[in-house]
Structure 1
């Protein structure tokens, strides 16, 4: 409380140029703080994007087991690394619960799977 009263007394005695200097210093310090925060957030976002990208790349080619029947539009699989993914099949194939599948690719948050005997470009 005493510190606040002392600051009010000191600031009250400043002339107009003292206020301008104080305002300028405040604006510069706030600008530096905002720049630091934004830089840190951008760096964290880049780091997260790299982690997600490398995780998705590692999923392609991984085998797994069907948890919910997989068709060409829906399903769910559990991969050998323990991850559970929404899935869809290629070429109109259907896989029953317990079937072994292989992840062909990732499209958004969906694993595109097959039984490991077909490639995507096969007809």
Structure 2
């Protein structure tokens, strides 16, 4: 009369694994990927070995739990290891050296940064005027202007000797 539905259980395992992979693509936390792995290895694997349905469900749950608590933390640690903050664009300009190109008038002038860019600059509060060619350091970026201050002399640049 009715076919034995357990003979088609392998289709259910594949569909469930596919659903878990799709959800994983939306969440990107490796949780549903581990569930998909448990579904394929435990559930489908036990099905291919002709295990009863309750053993297939148990194997899928056991393999999923094993993957969740062993492999997932290792993957997350590996993923987050290289996520140190690296400043880019204008955030990377703070601390870079500069040379005065145009004399400062009322605290405003022009500098050439060590990366080759020319910027309009303002001296930070309390700084005296800087001479053309003198070394400065970028303290902050304010819009299209950099705030600069006198550079601390570098002992390696000492030319006496």
- Compare CA radii of gyration and give the structure with the larger one: 2
The TM-score, its normalising length taken from structure 1, stands at 0.48
The TM-score, its normalising length taken from structure 2, stands at 0.37
